[in-house]
Amino acid sequence: MAYVIADYGNIKETFPEFQATMDALEDVLVQKAMAQWAPLRYGGLNPQSGEFGKTTIMPELFQTGAFETGVLTTMTNWGDAYISTTTQTVPGNNIIMQGNTSGNIPEDYMCGIVGLAFLEPTSRISEIRMQISDKKLPRMNIQEAWGYKRPCIIWENGYVLDEETGFTLYGFALAQGPYKIKLIGLQLNRVPNKLQTTNTGAAIT
């Protein structure tokens, strides 16, 4: 799993292959969606009748919270997460984020992720690990990222989070407090009206 650690505002300068990685992931995701959602066609950012659409990754597809006690919250923004000493293991391994439907990505949505961005300087999480369905990706020590203003981790090859497929992001927490972790990539939506006609911030079903 090749990757680079960089500042989120300087991805293009520090990882010039970033756009090629995004384009390749979008191609894979679109082909998969066309096979699963046939006869729908790809409509990009402005889908019409008979087409599925593309957006940024919506935080509402994910949950965060006190996983040890079962008190989970569907995210409405990438800054919803908080490490609490009363409900999480500090220091220790914790679930940072998971799909919002019993740990799965909900039906009618697919995501392609090329990395993670920490939207503020942070030293509360020292390692991360992801699991996609039954595929367990290796642990990554991210302490190098603490030296950046808005650190991000970009993989050389992206990953597909299929609809109704499990996704979990684990992290080793060193201290309590908030953290703002954003998934970098794109999202495909089988039913565009769920995002085109609903209010901003509304639950995604």
For residue 53, the surrounding DSSP H or E stretch is: strand 51-55
Residue 12 lies in a domain: yes
Residue 87 lies in a domain: yes
- Looking only at the bridges linking them, the beta strands covering 71-74 and 62-66 are antiparallel
pLDDT, the chain, mean: 89
Asked if 56 and 114 count as a contact pair (C-beta separation under 8 A), the reply is no
Q: How many domains does the chain have?
A: 1
Residue 94 lies in a domain: yes
Asked if 130 and 93 count as a contact pair (C-beta separation under 8 A), the reply is no
The whole-model pTM stands at: 0.90
Asked if 54 and 188 count as a contact pair (C-beta separation under 8 A), the reply is yes
Residue 201 lies in a domain: no
Residue 203 lies in a domain: no
The Cα–Cα gap between 29 and 85 comes to 39
- Write down the pLDDT at residue 58: 95
What would the mean pLDDT of 141-164 be, rounded to a whole number? 89
What would the mean pLDDT of 43-56 be, rounded to a whole number? 93
- DSSP structure class, residue 58: P
* Structural domain span for residue 68: 3-196
pLDDT value at 105 more than 80:
yes
Residue 72 lies in a domain: yes
- Write down the pLDDT at residue 68: 66
Residue 181 lies in a domain: yes
Residue 205 lies in a domain: no
